[in-house]
Structure 1
Amino acid sequence: MRRDFEAPGRSPVYAREAAVATSHPLATSAAIEVLQSGGNAVDAAIAAAAVQCVVEPQMTGIGGDLFAIVTEPDGRMAGFNGSGAAPKALTPALLAERGVDAIEATSAHAVTVPGAVRAWETLLKAHGSRNFRQLLKRAIDYADNGFPVAPRVNRDWEAAVPKLRANKAAAASYLVDGEAPEIGSIMKFPRLAETLRAIASDGADGFYTGEVAEDIVATLKELGGVMTLDDLAAAHTTAVAPVLRDYRGHTIAELPPNGQGVIALVMLGLLERFDLGAFSPISAERYHLEMEAARIAYAVRDKFITDPNYMDIGTARLLSEDYIDQLARMIRLDRRLEEVPGNSLAPQTDTIYLSVVDKDGLSVSLIQSVFQSFGSGILAADSGVMLHNRGFSFKAKPGFANTIDGGKRPMHTIIPAFGLKDGHPWLSFGVMGGHYQACGHAHLITNIVDYGMDPQMAIDFPRMFFDMDTHALEAEKLIPASTLDGLKDFGHEVRRTKEAIGGSQAIMIDRAKGLLIAGSDPRKDGHAAGY
């Protein structure tokens, strides 16, 4: 497909040596600066992520988690799970004793151990060429001397004002006269700058031990939390082998659970059973198939996906051809499945994403998050660390795959991905947007593979998802009314979404032409760049 130059949009970035795509322009600039000074893709990715921890505080922070895939020029991949666990003392029994039957999003119990900083250090030791002192300079400068609030950041900030007002420390640091800062206003986070300096000086230990750790533990204890210094000190990043599945001649790599990446592969497996290319990419038929595949795949997710040490079913079984066939038989081309039957699922027996590719062909697909906007809304005041609320996805009561337990990692929505073609690096990509991410991966890949879109066009293309409670479809406004009418004829309840769905970055590697082709989502503030 070719871009319509009379319609709103932008071209992908074409570059020969290196490319970066992030959701914030200051992060993209930081990554390019590192690359042009001789750093590699991992160095650049960490520099960019650190900047985003300052300038996109509603989406990410050093108080959150991280996942990454690093791909060598020959196609070898390494996965990194930088998600933290629940405090050792936080069990269903303890919650029951306290009368807690559901974990609230702004509760101290929703705060699991932040894994991002340990993951930065692990990535640097494994693949980096620079140190924290060099890579955190821009982030420290923005936290100390200020940064201008970007338009999308402002919009998200405004929506989070009630959460921030509810925490005295957060309100003092993140609100201006009780309101969100205006677009273009300069914000500074001096306490966060000091913590970043501690990390630059002492590595991850500057976060997980000492004054910063003590501040986090004391803040949570005051709110009824049970996290300890030992919990923080035990934070570690797990090296994992990506899970692979082919889709129409392309190999898609996702990280294994506790993330939902395998669900993107389940979706692609279901969609591969149908001739998507026979339908227009904007047609009711295409979105019907995508949403039916998503509804089934997400039911699989909710039934099985959690910390792999607690899973009853392995990922190989979930991706087996006979199981995908079993699930695909539920899909009708002309009619919505009324409900996804639970007994048919058993096999028979607010986030930033960035991508960097450097001049030597090393690729990084990295995603980092505090989960919901501004995470838990709990700010550790002395260290300036906004704490995520990833534990909100846990179930408080026993009997579920994702039931909380001491030392258990929760099911994660954030997932980086990578694609190979003929065994060689082809596409570094990811999608932001909470639960939407697995569906977003499938949407992006089918846009490129089935419909011939370039990365920017595939990112721009209108999205749809379903309400996790009612299964009503929610469509972005650029999906035409005729498509929505067609979906209603298939039995779907359809409504317009109240806001843009997610965000995305991608870099395609064209080996034949020696080119990098990068795109960044207009739903966010960022852009792609290269040289």
Structure 2
Amino acid sequence: MTGVSADWPAPTRNPVLAGEHMAVSSHPAVSAVGHRVLAAGGTAIDATVAMAAMSWLALPGQCGVGGDAFAVVREPDGSVWTINGSGYGPDGGDLAFYRAQGRSAIPLTGALAVAAPGAVAAIAALHARGATRGLPELWAPAIAAAERGLPCTRKTRADILEHEAQLGADDGARRTFLRDGRAPQVGERLPQPELADSLRLLAADPRALYTGELAERAVAALAVAGAPFSGDEWAASGIPLQGEAIVGRYGDLVVHTTPLPTPGWMVLQQAAVCDGMLSGLPSLSADAVGWLAGAAREAFRDRWDRCGTDTDAWRALLRPEAVADVRAKLAAGGHPLATAGLTPDGDTTTTVAVDGDGRAVSFIHSLAFTFGARITIPGTGIMLNNRLGRGAYLVEGHPNQVRPRRRPLHTCLAWLVTDTGGALRHVGNTPGGDGQVQWNMQVLSHLIDHGLDPQAAVSAPRFTVFPGSDADVVGAPDELICESRLGERAVAELRAAGHPVRVVGPWDAGGSALVVSVDGRLGCLAGGADPRQDGVALGG
């Protein structure tokens, strides 16, 4: 379903938010720029736009100008809307094109992996709809950071080391991320002068990425490398989709999330299956984990079997009779196995901003895998995504078969929660591939079923159904990956119940969840940032 049902009360304001604001991200420099914008009187949209650009410098493996972005926005009057900034694959990229090359899957790196970027278009649309400051002003801190360089974090150094050979093979990536052929040390500055110039150009005219000289340079370079872009699909990707959120109930609250091509519907399906089933179970007990894992497995199986990025087949899965069927299966001890694959990783990053008027933005952007396709648009410092390779299948007749002018399957989504009158209760998100739809549901349960505060909710032991649906690992063996903090007793009981458990380190499940909640009792905002990365929540 779309929008809010007519039998729910009209949207209302949040009186507890008067004067309160908060910015949360997975990097201190990103949270700081968002907080400064909010403290100076900017809106949550202003803060999000500023944080997005700073993220490109602070978390270069996770996001960039050449990636995609999505947002869900709650306005002060209680209305909710979304932005979809994901691009198309090449016009010449049909099944026959890849089969003629003898391929069974689209490559995950290089030109053939690339879909046209949608992040800049999404940010420009977000800015046009609710910003109070110009794009050059909001991006000025990021441009300055690109010129002088931000200190390299432990995460960025690890990302560069992991992909050093491929980054070194691309002239632009080598100049940006390697120093005399080596990965930078932690604390060493990473100036990106070419990207600074690109950001100045795009701040003046975001459409420059989609039409004109910059777009022509990108399409020409990709065509030379063998990707069948025409340029028309590139230009069309500069027009993001805007519309209502898709919604579902969880208890007496309303979950708003992003529509296709995101997997927001999978969170709603899991919420429907779990609604009323977890509040009576001890938090993170084997029974609770088993139920959540079963709901996630069912969602992945349904996506593989039935749900493309441009169909409404998912809606039938939220009907009461379909939800009842899943519940009956799980209650009988069934553990449906997914049929595709998941690598739980943090190849994405997110931000959350709430302003004093009650406006809230959950924003997520990504290059798909770390550093995307690991190639740049020559001379621009812009890394390109590998979303086509990650999210389109060379499986004839599959709901997500590769096809021209089709947005690839996405792992990214954003969400927020209101009461039935539209008052804000929670807003959050997490990166992490196909872990996102599971970890977001886990956080929602912690917040709503068990009353955890935001920091406790994002820090709680995490578990992950493997596999999900990334195209590179279709058919991987089924597992339930659990952080060791879940405890030996719960792990033993899960194994006894038939779950194929694999235990990882206490904080090693992946992701970087962020949440801001309205504390109605204290009349303030409370925020939480995942300790699995370098997140910071700043409010005032």
Given the two structures, how large is their TM-score scaled by the length of structure 1? 0.91
| Kept after mapping to 1: 8 A contact 2:18/2:357 | no
- Pair 1:327–1:273, CA change in 2 (3 A): farther
**Which residue of structure 2 lines up, in the alignment, with residue 60 of structure 1?**
63
Aligned-partner Cα distance in 2 for 1:456–1:16: 22
2:348/2:367 contact within 8 Å kept = yes
Question: CA 1:150–1:89 in structure 2 vs 1: closer, same or farther (change >3 Å)?
Answer: same
Q: Deviations over 1:180-217 (max 9, x none)?
A: 2221110011111110010122x212222233222322
1:131 maps to what in 2? 134
Q: Which amino acid aligns with 1:299?
A: R
Correspondence for 1:25: 28
Amino acid of the structure 1 residue aligned with 2:216? E
Deviation at 1:273, TM superposition (A): 5.3
The residue correspondences of 1:218-233 to structure 2 (distance < 5 A) are: 218-233=220-235
Aligned partner of 1:143: which letter? A
Matches within 5 A, 1:110-509: 110-201=113-204, 203-235=205-237, 236-272=239-275, 274=277, 276-308=278-310, 311=311, 313-332=312-331, 335=333, 337=335, 339=337, 350-392=347-389, 393-423=391-421, 424-468=423-467, 469-497=476-504, 499-509=508-518
Q: CA RMSD in A?
A: 1.9
Question: Equivalent residue of 2:516, what SS?
Answer: strand
Aligned with 2:322: secondary structure? helix
Contact 1:260 1:305 in 2 (8 A): no
Displacement of 1:341 after TM fit? 9.5
8 Å CA contact retained: 2:481, 2:509: no
* Counterpart contact for 2:464–2:509, Cα < 8 Å: no
Asked whether the 8 Å contact 2:352–2:360 carries over to 1, the reply is: yes
Per-residue Cα deviation, 1:301-342 (whole angstroms, up to 9, x for no partner): 22233322xx2x444322111111122221136x45264699
Superposition misfits of 4+ residues, deviation over 6 angstroms: none
Checking the alignment, whether the CA contact within 8 Å between 2:69 and 2:118 is kept in structure 1 is yes
Q: Describe the superposition over 1:28-78 as per-residue Cα deviations: whole angstroms up to 9, x where unpaired.
A: 111112122222110110100100011211100010001101111232001
**8 A Cα contact 1:164 1:170, kept in partner:** yes
CA distance in 2, matches of 1:508, 1:449: 11
Q: In structure 2, what is the Cα distance between the partners aligned to 1:246 and 1:466?
A: 23
- Separation of aligned partners in 2, 1:394 and 1:61: 21
In structure 2, how many angstroms separate the alpha carbons of the residues matched to 1:101 and 1:284?
39
**Bigger Cα displacement from structure 2, 163-172 vs 519-528:** 163-172
Cα deviation digits, residues 483-520 of structure 1 (max 9, x gap): 11111111122112363321111111235643111111
Are residues 128 and 16 of structure 1, via their aligned partners in 2, closer, same or farther at CA, if it must alter by over 3 Å? closer
In the TM superposition, what is the alpha-carbon distance from 1:238 to its structure 2 partner? 0.5
Distance 2:410 2:161 in 1: 26
Secondary structure in 1 matching 2:176:
helix
TM-score normalised by structure 2 residue count = 0.90
Letter in 2 for 1:359: G
The aligned amino acid for 2:118 is G
CA distance in 1, matches of 2:339, 2:137: 53
Q: What aligned pairs does 1:100-115 form with structure 2 within 5 A after superposition?
A: 100-115=103-118
Measure the CA separation in 1 of the matches of 2:52 and 2:256: 22
In structure 1, C-alpha distance between the alignment counterparts of 2:485 and 2:19, rounded to whole Å: 33
- Paired AA for residue 417 in structure 1: W
Q: 1:288 to 1:179 in 2, by over 3 A?
A: farther
Instruction: For residue 287 of structure 1, report the CA deviation from its aligned partner.
Output: 1.1
Write the distance in 1 (CA, Å) between the matches of 2:19 and 2:289.
Answer: 35
1:280, CA displacement in angstroms?
A: 2.3
| Alpha-carbon distance, 1:177 to partner | 3.4
Q: Secondary structure at the match of 1:297?
A: helix
Deviation for aligned residue 1:109: 2.1
Secondary structure of the residue aligned to 1:399 is coil
User: More displaced, 319-328 or 134-143?
Assistant: 319-328
Q: Is the 8 A contact 2:465 2:480 kept in 1?
A: yes
Q: Work out the CA distance in 1 between the residues paired with 2:320 and 2:436.
A: 23
User: 2:388 aligns to what SS in structure 1?
Assistant: helix
Q: Give, as a single letter, the amino acid of the residue that structure 1 aligns with 2:496.
A: D
C-alpha distance in 1, partners of 2:198/2:30?
19
Q: Which moved more, 1:146-155 or 1:449-458?
A: 146-155
Residue 225 of structure 1 aligns with an amino acid whose one-letter code is A
Q: Contact (CA 8 Å) 2:110, 2:374: kept in 1 or not?
A: no
Q: Work out whether residues 18 and 358 of structure 2, in 8 Å CA contact, stay in contact via their aligned partners in 1.
A: no
In structure 2, stretches of 5+ residues that fail to align are: 1-16, 341-346, 468-475
Aligned twin of 2:539: 530
Q: Which segments of 5 or more consecutive residues in structure 1 lack a partner in the other structure?
A: 1-13, 343-349
Preserved contact between residue 352 and residue 362 of structure 2 (Cα < 8 Å): yes
Identity %: 30
Match of 2:529 in 1: 520
Cα separation, partners in 2 of 1:204 and 1:340, compared to 1, 3 Å: closer
**CA distance in structure 1 between the partners assigned to 2:530 and 2:337 by the alignment:** 33
In structure 1, distance between residues paired with 2:217 and 2:229: 11
- One-letter amino acid of the structure 1 residue matched with residue 324 of structure 2: D
